[in-house]
A and B are shown apart, each in its own frame.
Chain A
Amino acid sequence: MTATDVPQAVERGVGARLPRKEDARLLTGEARFVDDLSIPGALWLGMVRSPFAHARLGNVDASAALAIPGVRHVFTGADLRDGWAAAMPCAWPVTEDMKAPDHWPIAVDKACYVGDIVAVVVADSRYAAVDGVDAVEVDYDPLEAVVDLEDAASDRTVIHDGLGTNRSYTWTLVPDPDAVERAFAEAAHVVRERYLQQRLIPVAIEPRGVAAVPGVYGGDLTVYSATQIPHILKIMITATCGVPEAKVRVIAPAVGGGFGSKLNIYAEELIAVALARRLGVPTRWTEGRSENSVATIQGRGQIQDIELAADADGKVTAVRVKLLADMGAYMQLVTPGIPLLGAFLYGGVYDVPAYSFECTGVFTTKTPTDAYRGAGRPEATYAIERAMESLAREVGVDSAEIRRRNYIPSDRFPYDASSGLTFDSGNYEPTLDRALELVDHGGRRAEQQRRRDAGDTKHLGIGIATYVEMCGLAPSRVLASLNYAAGGWEAATVRVLPTGTVQVVSGTTPHGQGHETCWSQIVADKLGVDPDSVEVLHSDTAVSPIGMDTYGSRSLPVGGVAVAMASDQVLDKARRIASHQLECAEDDLELVDGELRVKGTPTKAMTLQAVAFEAFSAHDLPDGMEPNLVGQVTYDPPNFVFPFGTHVAVVEIDEETGGVELLDYAAVDDCGVQVNPMIVEGQLHGGIVQGAAQALWEEAMYDDDGLLRNPTLTDYCVPSTAEVPSIKLDHTVTPSPTNPLGVKGIGEAGTIGSTPTVINAIVDALAPLGITDIAMPATPERVWAAIREAREAQA
């Protein structure tokens, strides 16, 4: 072994900026996304979608479509209605009395949003399917659209006749109502704010796609889907299509981004399965972009009323929150639960003694909402971080000071929040100090003042937000208490193969997060091997039969921990084999350079590979020991993990046009121990821009008839590289005490922190005009109009 080899495993283990194993196939076009798969004999599906937000369905005339060469069949909801074993699943009925309509993959009587599937075309080719969809004629009897949330809640027009109301549920979390009342009654300062969370379109750059390949005689079924959740999809295919679970294999091949939008069970997946089985041939479907905008879930969509009570010093004494949450037309997989993921966090990073939260979920005639990056936590963080700015103004202190006065002190962790959760670890103030330093806060404030004094029409604004979020979904018992239908554990298997390769089987389903690299680094550390000799298998239920998949920033703090624990099992067993064969006590063995050596006698050693081969040959194992060197763990986390951080944005506002430019952005985040800092940074960069996009660019715009006005990427403004600055990152490390790696999730933190940061910066810039709010996205026109209105009011 050469000198450079010795530290290699360590250098490339936990903490290393290891370039990713996943990259080569993605950089060369070798990776296969669903639409890339060659599936002989597959028929293409095209979805006929309602152009009306709310309409009774009349006759479907397929004759013109069927006359098109290559179009084979057209099926309606009625044609398939009797074939479903159950309606589409909602796994999170948040209250016992939650109201939800049956949701069939193809609408039967009524279309309830623009994009609701009313018929499906089966054709020989991609092109013929599109032509067929164009030619199907459906008679619609339009009904009144229900677009506005408060209008929906009023039940002026009830969407689902059988429910009698659009109000699906009201969920409350009020641990001590009297304490809240008392705090508001005694408060020196009270701020009351209303914020609107516009609907967002997730826009994973790969649209969805599915292919279903039936084994006509074997009865088996293989489904390829652009999904984050192959394991859950497998169960739901059994539940809805009646295929015995043992016959179903689901594969998520390369998946081009998800952001929660592929954390769902979609009608098209089930239609593809049903038709593949009915026709006895493979079926496939690939979503178009404009189609994606209406057919894939949207995010956010809330009206938030938040009140803070505070004492004379601005110390918050109570937080009271009331939400109206837009479910859209139907409950998708976890639609009703999304606001609940934020329900515990409206107190933010602050020591809030009294807490009250209530959310009412309401149906509208729009695309269903569901998990979108952050899912509930960005909304909560936005509300509290905006409201803290109001409180700062009310109290007359600056943005940093109001936060310093209210942060949960670092010596209070683990911290029992009044919302009922226990925050695992935290130390918030250092992230604020460092973030302010990174943007030269003092210098920026001086420049801001200089411009104000000079009457400059280019206004400078500095925005701050400190966030904490709960992720690592999730302790199964907590999920049970929230009425969620499944658990939150994750499974991992680690095997050392006879030739020394370490094979990891993970129940997580990466789609850009770099699990193959990170899990290899964890194993490398644990077993003293090079990460290149570790192979990570995932995303195929035949290879990885047990798993709960990837969402909710759970993969590392749950799945990665499972990998670490399974590696520990492997090492334990290896020690027992080595001590048996080397005839020494287990305690006398140390792991050095991938070898188990007898302490003080380095010549007495076995490489891990040698141990693995002994385990494989099983010629000489300790009595009663099973052959093969395998560790297998299903890890159910004892708590969520609570990453945190402070973000600071500097914006420049052009008063004449209302244009907002992001001049500078710094983020100091703490996700505990970092397995691969390069990947952590990448998650933050992407998350920050996605959250800034909610603040500045993105909104699903519906007209009064419930028609999405901006379904294309020409009109739905996903920012490009030309609109965003480079991002300054730094971090602190406060390990989580709840898991052996000390890690916390980081997939959503950037998004959670950045939206309020950017809006706070805009409001800060315009503060001298008396502007205290700006609707999201803060488009140039909105900013211009707000300034004009403020100037007129001042005049």
Chain B
Amino acid sequence: MNITLSVNGEERSSDVEPRRLLVHHLRDDLGLTGTNVGCDTSSCGSCTVLMDGESVKSCTILAVQADGHEITTIEGLAALAPAGDGEAGALHPVQQAFHEQHGLQCGYCTPGMVMAAVSLLAENPHPSEADVRLGLEGNLCRCTGYHNIVRSVLAAAGELPESEEVPA
């Protein structure tokens, strides 16, 4: 079946089998391998992308369901930076915050985690720590214990308390 998606701002038309999962369409057909697959039950959130600006799990959407919709993957995120000029090498503020706060280690869950955080902040620009923790409930990370992920999201929102470091 022929479908056309707007992916990171570009129209992409393809012929896909109806059962093709959006995540495989993005990865295998469109070469956007930043979106990862970590489970088979919609549990881990590694495959999170934005569909019409909202976080969704691309392993639980058929490519044909996404026909006609706007998809943003991690590869297209930097272009969404408020002051972003789409220049290669620029980072979105959420990506930048993950870098500065050490919100990633192996990096496998990271694209999904970042996209979930972007969607969360779009819905709630000034979240509390509890809001962030609940808002990222659909994304699993095995490396960070989430501590620095939460700090990253709060920092991106400008909500990180200044002196919360434990003094040495």
Q: Which residues of A contact B (CB under 8 A)?
A: 19-20, 22-33, 35-36, 38, 126-127, 203-207, 254-257, 259, 288-290, 438, 511-514, 678-679, 681-682, 684-690, 712-714, 718, 720-722, 724, 726-731, 750
Contacts A29-B74, A722-B137 given: A512-B143 contact, CB under 8 Å? yes
Q: Decide if A712 touches B40 in the complex (CB within 8 Å).
A: yes
Q: Enumerate chain B interface residues (CB-CB to A < 8 A).
A: 17, 19-20, 24, 27-28, 31-41, 43-44, 46, 73-75, 77-78, 91, 95, 98-100, 102, 104-111, 114, 129, 132-134, 136-150, 166-168
Beta-carbon nearest neighbor of B167 in chain A: A730
Set of chain A residues within 8 Å of B36, measured between Cβ atoms: 33, 35, 205-206, 256
Is B41 within 8 A of A32, CB to CB?
no
Cβ–Cβ contact A686 & B105, under 8 A: yes
Which 4 residue pairs across A and B have the least CB separation, nearest first? A29-B34, A256-B108, A26-B107, A512-B106
For B134, the chain A residues whose CB sits under 8 A away are 722
Q: Which of B44, B110, B144, B145 contacts A26 (CB 8 A)?
A: B110
Write out the residue numbers on chain B whose beta carbons fall within 8 Å of the beta carbon of A24.
91, 99
Which residue from chain B places its CB closest to the CB of A676 in the assembled complex? Answer: B102
Smallest distance from the beta carbon of B100 to chain A beta carbons, Å? 6
Contact partner of B17 among A127, A254, A259, A721, CB < 8 A? A127
Residues of the A chain whose Cβ atoms lie less than 8 Å from the Cβ of B35: 29
Considering the complex, give the chain B residue whose CB is closest to the CB of A434.
B166
B38: chain A residues at CB < 8 Å are 205-207, 256, 289, 713
Residues of A within 8 A of B39 (CB): 289, 712-713
Q: Are B24 and A256 in contact (CB under 8 A)?
A: no
Which residues on B sit within 8 Å (CB–CB) of A288? 40
Given A29-B75, A205-B38, A720-B140: A513 in contact with B105 (beta carbons within 8 A) = yes
A-B contact pairs, 15 of them (CB 8 A): A23-B99, A26-B104, A27-B111, A29-B75, A33-B36, A205-B38, A205-B46, A205-B108, A205-B142, A206-B38, A256-B38, A679-B102, A686-B105, A713-B41, A721-B137
Question: With a CB–CB cut-off of 8 A, which chain B residues contact A679?
Answer: 102
Number of A-B contacts (CB under 8 A): 190
- Beyond A29-B32, A35-B37, A686-B145, whether A726 also contacts B150 by CB under 8 A is yes
Contacts of A126 in B (CB 8 A): 24, 28
A228 to chain B, nearest CB (A): 11
Q: Is B129 in contact with A726, judged by CB distance below 8 angstroms?
A: yes
Checking A38, A207, A512 against B107 with a beta-carbon cut-off of 8 angstroms, the contacting residue is A512
- Given the interface contacts A289-B39, A720-B138, A722-B137, does A28 sit within 8 Å of B145 by beta carbon? no
- Contact B43 A685, beta carbon cutoff 8 Å: no
Are A678 and B102 touching (Cβ within 8 A)?
Answer: yes
CB-based contact B27/A256 at 8 Å = no
Q: What are the residues of chain A within 8 A of B24 when measuring CB–CB?
A: 126-127
Complex formed: what's the CA distance from A727 to B145 in Å? 9
CB of B148 within 8 A of CB of A712, answer: no
In the bound complex, what is the Cα–Cα distance between A750 and B134 (angstroms)?
24
- CB <8 Å contact, B137 and A20: no
Residues of B close to A720: CB separation below 8 A? 136-140, 146
- Whether B102 lies near A682 (C-beta < 8 A) is yes
Contact of A721 with B149 in the complex, beta carbons under 8 Å: yes
The residue of chain A having its C-beta at the shortest distance from the C-beta of B100 within the complex is A19
Partner of A204, one of B37, B99, B132, B142: B142
Contact (A685, B147) CB under 8 Å given A205-B140, A721-B133 = yes
Contacts A27-B114, A33-B33, A257-B143 known; 12 new A-B pairs at CB < 8 A: A19-B99, A26-B104, A27-B107, A27-B111, A28-B74, A29-B33, A126-B28, A205-B108, A206-B36, A256-B108, A259-B142, A729-B166
- B110 — which chain A residues lie within 8 A by C-beta? 26-27
B105 with A730: CB separation less than 8 A:
no
CA distance A728 to B164 in the complex (A): 10
A730 to B165, CA, bound (A): 10
Tell me, rounded to whole Å, the shortest Cβ–Cβ distance linking B115 to chain A: 10
Name the A residues within 8 Å of B142 (CB-CB).
Answer: 203-205, 257, 259, 686, 690, 718
Cβ distance A264 to chain B, nearest Cβ, rounded Å = 17
Chain A residues near B168 (CB-CB < 8 A): 730-731
B146–A689 touching, CB < 8 Å: yes
Q: Pick the residue among B91, B106, B148, B166 that contacts A256 (CB under 8 A).
A: B106
Chain A residues whose C-beta falls within 8 Å of the C-beta of B104 in the assembled complex:
23, 26-27
Q: Which chain A residues border B28 with CB–CB below 8 Å?
A: 126
Q: Tell me the bound Cα distance from A23 to B98 in angstroms.
A: 8
B137 near A686 with CB under 8 A, answer no
Q: A512-B106, A721-B133, A731-B168 are in contact. Are A687 and B145 (CB under 8 A)?
A: yes
A538 to chain B, nearest CB (A): 14
Contact A721-B99, Cβ < 8 Å, known A29-B34, A205-B44: no
**Are B145 and A685 touching (Cβ within 8 A)?**
yes
> Is A206 touching B140 in the complex (CB atoms < 8 A)?
no
Q: Which of B46, B99, B147 is within 8 Å of A27, CB to CB?
A: B99
B34, B46, B136: most-surrounded residue (chain A CB, <10 A): B34
Establish whether residues B102 and A29, one from each chain, have CB atoms under 8 Å apart when the complex forms.
Answer: no
- Cβ of B100 and Cβ of A33 under 8 Å apart? no
Q: How far is the CA of A694 from the CA of B9 in the complex (A)?
A: 44
Chain B: minimal CB distance from A296 (Å):
13
The answer to whether B145 and A689 have CB atoms under 8 Å apart is yes
